[in-house]
Amino acid sequence: MRPSGRPPLELRPLSIEVGYAKHAEGSAFIRLGDTHVLCTVSVEERVPPFLKGTGKGWVTAEYGMLPRSTHNRMDREAARGKQSGRTNEIQRLIGRSLRAVVDLEALGERQLRVDCDVIQADGGTRTAAITGSYVALHSALAKMVEAGVLAKLPLHDQVAAVSCGLYKGTPVLDLDYLEDSDAQADANFVLTAKGGIVEVQATAEESPYTQDELMALLDLARKGVEALILEQRRVLGL
Amino acid sequence: MRPSGRPPLELRPLSIEVGYAKHAEGSAFIRLGDTHVLCTVSVEERVPPFLKGTGKGWVTAEYGMLPRSTHNRMDREAARGKQSGRTNEIQRLIGRSLRAVVDLEALGERQLRVDCDVIQADGGTRTAAITGSYVALHSALAKMVEAGVLAKLPLHDQVAAVSCGLYKGTPVLDLDYLEDSDAQADANFVLTAKGGIVEVQATAEESPYTQDELMALLDLARKGVEALILEQRRVLGL
Amino acid sequence: MRPSGRPPLELRPLSIEVGYAKHAEGSAFIRLGDTHVLCTVSVEERVPPFLKGTGKGWVTAEYGMLPRSTHNRMDREAARGKQSGRTNEIQRLIGRSLRAVVDLEALGERQLRVDCDVIQADGGTRTAAITGSYVALHSALAKMVEAGVLAKLPLHDQVAAVSCGLYKGTPVLDLDYLEDSDAQADANFVLTAKGGIVEVQATAEESPYTQDELMALLDLARKGVEALILEQRRVLGL
Amino acid sequence: MRPSGRPPLELRPLSIEVGYAKHAEGSAFIRLGDTHVLCTVSVEERVPPFLKGTGKGWVTAEYGMLPRSTHNRMDREAARGKQSGRTNEIQRLIGRSLRAVVDLEALGERQLRVDCDVIQADGGTRTAAITGSYVALHSALAKMVEAGVLAKLPLHDQVAAVSCGLYKGTPVLDLDYLEDSDAQADANFVLTAKGGIVEVQATAEESPYTQDELMALLDLARKGVEALILEQRRVLGL
Amino acid sequence: MRPSGRPPLELRPLSIEVGYAKHAEGSAFIRLGDTHVLCTVSVEERVPPFLKGTGKGWVTAEYGMLPRSTHNRMDREAARGKQSGRTNEIQRLIGRSLRAVVDLEALGERQLRVDCDVIQADGGTRTAAITGSYVALHSALAKMVEAGVLAKLPLHDQVAAVSCGLYKGTPVLDLDYLEDSDAQADANFVLTAKGGIVEVQATAEESPYTQDELMALLDLARKGVEALILEQRRVLGL
Amino acid sequence: MRPSGRPPLELRPLSIEVGYAKHAEGSAFIRLGDTHVLCTVSVEERVPPFLKGTGKGWVTAEYGMLPRSTHNRMDREAARGKQSGRTNEIQRLIGRSLRAVVDLEALGERQLRVDCDVIQADGGTRTAAITGSYVALHSALAKMVEAGVLAKLPLHDQVAAVSCGLYKGTPVLDLDYLEDSDAQADANFVLTAKGGIVEVQATAEESPYTQDELMALLDLARKGVEALILEQRRVLGL
Q: What letters, b where the CB count within 10 A reaches 16 and e where it falls short, cover C120-134?
A: bbbbbbbbbbbbbbb
Cβ atoms of E175 and E123 closer than 8 Å: yes
Local structure of residue F155 (DSSP, 8 states): B
- How many D/F residue pairs have CB atoms within 8 Å? 99
Confidence of residue E68 (pLDDT cuts 50, 70, 90): very high
Q: Mean pLDDT, chain A, as a whole number?
A: 96
Q: Which residue stretches of chain F are H helix?
A: 77-80, 85-99, 104-107, 125-146, 177-181, 211-236
- The three-point CA angle B161-B162-B166 to 5° equals 150
pLDDT (tens digit per residue) in A175-223: 999 999 999 999 999 999 999 999 999 999 878 999 999 999 999 999 9
d(CA D132, CA C160): 36
Q: Which residues of D touch F23 (CB under 8 A)?
A: 68-72, 120-121
pLDDT (tens digit per residue) in B94-110: 999 999 999 999 999 99
**Is D184 in the C-facing interface, judged by CB distances under 8 Å?**
no
Q: 3-class DSSP state for residue D167?
A: strand
Q: Which residue in C201, C219, C220 has the most chain D C-beta atoms within 10 A of its own C-beta, making it the best mutation to test that interface? A: C201
Q: Which residues of C touch D208 (CB under 8 A)?
A: 100, 157, 191-192, 194, 196-198
pLDDT score, position C217: 97
* D165 half-sphere exposure, CB direction, 13 A CA radius: 24
Nearest one of C85, A228, F1, C204 to D190, comparing CA atoms = C204
With a cut of 90, say whether residue E1 has pLDDT above it: no
Amino acid code (one letter) for C205: E
CA-to-CA separations, B44 to A107, B25, B60, B108, F144, in angstroms, rounded = 52, 10, 11, 11, 64
pLDDT (tens digit per residue) in D116-155: 999 999 999 999 999 999 999 999 999 999 999 999 999 9
User: How close A70 gets to chain E, by Cα (Å)?
Assistant: 6
User: How close B22 gets to chain A, by Cα (Å)?
Assistant: 31
With a cut of 90, say whether residue C205 has pLDDT above it: no
Q: Which residues of E touch F88 (CB under 8 A)?
A: 84-85, 88-89
* Cβ <8 Å between C76 and B69: no
Q: 3-class DSSP state for residue C46?
A: coil
Q: Which residue in D186, D203, D205, D218 has the most chain C C-beta atoms within 10 A of its own C-beta, making it the best mutation to test that interface? A: D203
CA dihedral C164, C165, C170, C173 (to 10 degrees): -20
Contacts of A11 (CB under 8 A, 6+ apart): A32, A162, A173, A174, A224, A227, A228
pLDDT (tens digit per residue) in C206-225: 789 999 999 999 999 999 99
Q: Which residues of C touch D198 (CB under 8 A)?
A: 203-204, 208
Q: What are phi and psi of C148, to 5 degrees?
A: 80, 5
d(CA B94, CA B130): 6
Nearest one of A36, A60, A34 to A47, comparing CA atoms = A60
Local structure of residue E234 (DSSP, 8 states): H
Output the DSSP codes for D92-153. HHHHHHHHTTB-HHHH-S-EEEEEEEEEE-SS-HHHHHHHHHHHHHHHHHHHHHHTTSSSS-
pLDDT (tens digit per residue) in A69-94: 999 999 999 999 889 989 999 999 99
A238: exposed, middle or buried (Cβ count in 10 Å: 0-12, 13-18, 19+): exposed
Cβ atoms of C123 and C163 closer than 8 Å: yes
Please name the member of E89, E196, E206 whose beta carbon is closest to the beta carbon of F85: E89
**Is D38 in the F-facing interface, judged by CB distances under 8 Å?**
yes
Task: Kindly report each contact of residues E169-172 with a partner whose C-beta sits within 8 Å and lies 24 or more positions away, as own/partner.
Answer: E170/E1, E170/E8, E171/E8, E171/E213, E171/E216, E171/E217, E171/E219, E171/E220, E172/E2, E172/E6, E172/E8, E172/E9, E172/E220
Residue in D with minimal Cα distance to C89? D89
pLDDT score, position B82: 87
Cβ atoms of E14 and E87 closer than 8 Å: no
Local structure of residue D50 (DSSP, 8 states): G
Q: What is the C-alpha R_g of chain F?
A: 18
| Beta-ladder partners of C192 | C159
Q: Which residues of E touch F200 (CB under 8 A)?
A: 200-202, 214
d(CA C17, CA C31): 8
Confidence of residue B203 (pLDDT cuts 50, 70, 90): very high
Local structure of residue C153 (DSSP, 8 states): -
pLDDT (tens digit per residue) in B149-187: 999 999 999 999 999 999 999 999 999 999 999 999 999
pLDDT score, position C100: 94
* Cβ <8 Å between F214 and E200: yes
How far, in whole angstroms, is CA D106 from its chain's centroid?
A: 23
pTM (2 d.p.): 0.91
The continuous run of DSSP H or E covering A15 comes out as strand A14-18
Split chain F (238 residues) into runs of 10 and give each run's mean pLDDT. 93 98 98 98 95 96 98 95 92 96 97 98 98 98 97 97 95 96 94 97 91 97 98 97
Q: Which residue in C37, C73, C137 has the most chain B C-beta atoms within 10 A of its own C-beta, making it the best mutation to test that interface? A: C73
Q: 3-class DSSP state for residue A127?
A: helix
**Is F157 in the E-facing interface, judged by CB distances under 8 Å?**
yes
Tens-digit pLDDT string for chain D (238 aa): 899 999 999 999 999 999 999 999 999 999 999 999 999 999 999 999 999 999 999 999 999 999 999 999 999 999 998 899 899 999 999 999 999 999 999 999 999 999 999 999 999 999 999 999 999 999 999 999 999 999 999 999 999 999 999 999 999 999 999 999 999 999 999 999 999 999 999 999 878 999 999 999 999 999 999 999 999 999 999 9
Contacts of D36 (CB under 8 A, 6+ apart): D29, D30, D118, D119, D120
Chains contacting D with at least 3 CB pairs below 8 Å? C, F
Percent of chain B exceeding pLDDT 90 equals 96
Q: Which residues of C touch B80 (CB under 8 A)?
A: 78
pLDDT score, position B21: 97
Output the DSSP codes for chain B. --TT---TTPPPPEEEEET-SSSSSEEEEEEETTEEEEEEEEEES---GGGTTSS--EEEEEEEE-TTSSSSPPPPHHHHTS--HHHHHHHHHHHHHHHTTB-HHHH-S-EEEEEEEEEE-SS-HHHHHHHHHHHHHHHHHHHHHHTTSSSS--BSS-EEEEEEEEETTEEEES--HHHHHT-SEEEEEEEETTS-EEEEEEEESSS-B-HHHHHHHHHHHHHHHHHHHHHHHHHHT-
Cβ atoms of C168 and C1 closer than 8 Å: yes
pLDDT (tens digit per residue) in C27-44: 999 999 999 999 999 999
A-facing residues of E in 65-124 (CB < 8 A) are 66-73, 76-79, 81-83, 87, 113, 115, 117, 119-122
Cβ atoms of B157 and B138 closer than 8 Å: no
